[in-house]
Amino acid sequence: MDSITDGHTSQSRANQTEHDTKTRENDEITTKFRLGVCCLEGRTFSTGTQRDGSCSGGSTNTGAEDLQCLYAKAFTCLSECVEAGYLPTYAYLGDCYAEGKGVELDKERAYGLYRRGAEEGDAYAQYRLGQCYYRGIFVPKNDSEAFQWYTKSAAQNDPNGLYALAVCHEYGIGVEERSADVNELYHRSAQLGNPLAQLQLGRMYESGLGVERDPRKAFEFYSKSAAQGNSAGQCGVASCYYHGRGVEKDLTLAMKFMKRSAEQGFAEAQVALGEAYSLGEGVEQDDKEAFGWFMKAAEQGHDLGQFQVAACYQHGIGVEQDLEKAFEWYLKSAEQGDAESQYQVAECYALGHGVSKDIRAALEWYRRSAEQRNPEAMHRLQHCLFYGLGTDRNPEEAFQWCLESAELGCVDAQFALAIRYMHAEGVPADPEKAFHWYSMAAEQGHLDSYNGLGDCYSYGKGVEQDYAKAVEYYLKSPKYPEIQFRLGECYYHGQGVAKDPMTAFEWFSKSAQGGYTPAIEALANYDFPHTESGQPIDSGSGG
């Protein structure tokens, strides 16, 4: 009995010793794994490493040489963990080979590690393998295969897999019909700390796409993403502070987060920061600083950044004026499809600014911009088509572009359309429609439209005749010789105003000075009634 007991006790002690040894070995492997992950992320390691493998108190403020040392350490640690058969390590060592961190780039080795880890059930490896198929990295692109691996990863609640699966369902990648609650997947991923899911939810709650619009929740999710260093999330937080959406407006904090994002290289933030310096909002106005941030975004290929750089060169804002460079940057942005840049390229060709004048090339770019519903480009295009500039004359197509531009609010197109209707240019005469479009343009302050409205009221075209309104609009319009003559007639005949030969004479004189023949003829036959003292009588009759 004692021998059995003693034997059992001895065996238990031996088992405990073996267990303790394995535990220590596992702890050493786990610690080494966490160290490797921290170094791979460019973070220094501290003993406060979290249980999920993340680093607490680590620093990313390391120079290039320090990073290479960290990557080398990461590769060493992760390689030892793989040799020990520690499953979670395979995908991270695959990252080393995939990105050439701490080891020479080896696509086949990276893919092999991802697949091995995935097939053995590691959720992160399944996600990374899905990425390979989705992006066509190391293997031919295969959305269906990517979807399958994302699904397996998400089934284990991997935040990356959940996010990727949500994206697949939202955009139909590798799946024909949405069969999952996209919002739920994004929320689950966000709750597990995925910064991209948090960013996406911020955008959804800000715009109200797929969820009820909620600026406070948008700010909350942007903040969570930003807290993890996500540059787009930081830009989202900055935007909330800037506009006072979901949080009290605070330009100082807006610029603080915008700078963080811009300094990480987020092009959208760089453009926004440049605009802030340009306007002096939240920062001291500085055109050179603005140009610098625009250029950083432009050099990353950001179309709006390229447009802003072009505009700076065109107008000499923050940089010496250079029309050739302006054209070059407008062209880069235009080739990416930016409608305003396409319009500016057309203008450069039309005017010969920074490039040889070429009306055919201008027409092509006007059309590209117009097809994206740029109202100004539509107006320029219709002008070319109507007058046959750079192409055969086509009044019918010109009218369609003119109408669409006018409906979108282009004031010049509204005025041109009024002229077409009034004078039957490429369209049947319609004074009522002419009056409508003169009115629309006049509401935007188009001066020549006041002249048109004056004529409509004066001659009763498209509206009931009203001399008083005619005089009102003539007085608002530019004082062309013809308008001056009409005002003279109104005062001479007492149309819409009291008869006033002296004022009539003044307007006729101004018109005649402008070379207007009817005014010259009117003055040649002009005769004022006089008193015995020779003074003209203000109420003289017409002659």
Per-residue pLDDT tens for 294-324?
999 999 999 999 999 999 999 999 999 999 9
Q: Rounded to whole angstroms, how far apart are CA atoms 87 and 73?
A: 19
Domains of the chain: which residue ranges? 482-543
Tokens of 50: 């979290």
Of 181, 190, 236, 245, the closest CA to residue 214 belongs to 245
Name the β-bridge partners of 530.
536
Give the amino acid at 108: E
pLDDT at 18: 43
Name the β-bridge partners of 536.
530
Output 427 or 176, whichever has higher pLDDT.
427
Q: Rounded to whole angstroms, how far apart are CA atoms 228 and 230?
A: 6
Positive or negative, the CA dihedral 223, 229, 233, 237 is positive
SS3 content of the chain, % helix, strand, coil (to 5): 70, 0, 30
pLDDT at 434: 97
Average pLDDT of span 18-39: 75
**pLDDT class of 12 with cuts at 50, 70, 90:** very low
CA end-to-end span of the chain, whole Å? Answer: 147
Nearby residues of 163 by Cβ (< 8 Å), 6 or more positions away: 185, 186, 189, 194, 196, 197, 200
Tokens of 66: 């320090």
pLDDT at 11: 34
Contact, 528 vs 501, CB < 8 A? yes
Express each pLDDT in 471-520 by its tens digit: 999 999 998 999 999 999 999 999 999 999 999 999 999 999 999 999 99
Express each pLDDT in 96-125 by its tens digit: 999 999 999 999 999 999 999 999 999 999
Express each pLDDT in 517-529 by its tens digit: 999 999 988 876 5
**For residue 385, which phi and psi values (nearest 5 degrees)?**
-70, -40
- With tokens 């993403």, the residue in question is 225
Helix pair angle (107-119, 89-99), 10° resolution: 160
Q: Rounded to whole angstroms, how far apart are CA atoms 82 and 90?
A: 6
For 121-184, the three-class secondary structure string (H helix, E strand, C coil) is: CCHHHHHHHHHHHHHCCCCCCCHHHHHHHHHHHHHCCCHHHHHHHHHHHHHCCCCCCCCCCHHH
Contact, 240 vs 230, CB < 8 A? no
Q: Rounded to whole angstroms, how far apart are CA atoms 470 and 457?
A: 5
Contact, 196 vs 230, CB < 8 A? yes
Express each pLDDT in 359-379 by its tens digit: 999 999 999 999 999 999 999
Q: Which uninterrupted H or E stretch holds 78?
A: helix 64-83
Alpha helix (H) residue ranges in 280-374 = 287-299, 303-315, 323-335, 339-351, 359-370
Q: Rounded to whole angstroms, how far apart are CA atoms 209 and 240?
A: 17
Of 412, 452, 447, the closest CA to residue 433 belongs to 452
Give the amino acid at 218: A
Q: Rounded to whole angstroms, how far apart are CA atoms 315 and 289?
A: 16
